[in-house]
Amino acid sequence: MVRSRDDFVIAFRSAFLKKKAKDKFSLFTLIIASIVLLILTNLNLKIINNLEKGLQDIVYRISVVASIPEKKIQDYYLKAKDHLAVYELKTKEENLYEKYNAEKLANEYLISENNRLRKIIGEQQLSQDNIIAKVLLDRESPFLNSIILNKGSKDNIELGMAVVDDDYLVGKIVEVNFLTSRVILVTDINSKIPGIIEPLGIHSIVSGSGKNEGTVEYLKEEYYPKINDDLNIFTSGIAGIFKPGIPIGKLKFDNKNKIFSVNFFSDFTQLEYVKVLISNKGDENGQK
């Protein structure tokens, strides 16, 4: 045991002797300060306790201050994460709303389309003399107006058949193919329709003008005082071109030029489905 202590002393002295003067002083000062601090701590002096508590307070304060940036960074990270989550949720909700709105509009269109078809089919069931046709395209020029239908000879479509929209006259069949047919509209300049002004029973001819209104021809001036803008004109059925009583339009008098024009009941820019009347062929054959 004594030998071990001697070896420790010898080693300490050897290390101490190897140091330079400055290093020796520093090491010696550190040893003395440590011994003094241990002695003072063991004596439990009040000033030492206060100094120790003060040092601990300083350490704690420094720890709190040092932890502030970390807390701020963590708070900013959590806020950014929450913001991104809210943004993603809002984006998903907007996408769902747009999808819902698109589906709603599509459903509204389908419902409207079905209602129109049901109305047309219901009218067709009341009268078996009608053939429902879809307008495929329109061929419009400054003077020539016609539409193409998706019905042809395979559907018993024939030349001269009347075509109506909501029971209002649209035109007549002038060309028939196996799957399609062409209709000349009443607005076409080549369209000449025998008409009758009701309730006066005055006969005239309704001609197309290439525009959205027609003109009244072959009307004697002696009838002018009897006619006003509130009168309607229908097909007369003369010559068997159309069956009588199909509404054409409402009369309008141009007092300046002393001519009558016809505001057609049908809106030719909105044609989607039309009805082809096959009964007028029977009327035509009967008159022949």
Model pLDDT, residue 14: 59
73-84: pLDDT as tens digits? 777 777 777 778
Identify the residue with better confidence: 25 or 130. Answer: 130
Model pLDDT, residue 200: 84
Model pLDDT, residue 182: 92
* 198 close to 234: Cβ distance less than 8 angstroms: yes
Model pLDDT, residue 286: 40
Is the pLDDT at 226 greater than 70, yes or no? yes
DSSP letters along 60-109, please? Answer: HHHHHHHHHHHHHHHHHHHHHHHHHHHHHHHHHHHHHHHHHHHHHHHHHH
Provide the pLDDT confidence category of residue 48 given band limits of 50, 70 and 90. low
Is the pLDDT at 284 greater than 70, yes or no? no
As a whole number of angstroms, the distance between CA 255 and CA 277 comes to: 36
Provide the pLDDT confidence category of residue 11 given band limits of 50, 70 and 90. low
Q: What are phi and psi of 260, to 5 degrees?
A: -105, 140
Which range (48-57, 68-77, 93-102, 153-162) has the least confidence?
A: 48-57
CATH classification for the domain delimited by 131-287, as one of 3.40.50.150, 2.40.10.340, 3.40.50.970, 3.40.718.10: 2.40.10.340
Model pLDDT, residue 76: 73
Is the pLDDT at 209 greater than 70, yes or no? yes
Model pLDDT, residue 37: 66
Is the pLDDT at 167 greater than 70, yes or no? yes
Answer left, alpha or beta for residue 22, where phi above 0 means left and psi between -120 and 50 means alpha.
Answer: alpha
Is the pLDDT at 155 greater than 70, yes or no? yes
Q: What are phi and psi of 265, to 5 degrees?
A: -70, -35
As a whole number of angstroms, the distance between CA 26 and CA 169 comes to: 119
- Strand-strand pairing, 181-185 and 168-176: antiparallel
Is the pLDDT at 6 greater than 80, yes or no? no
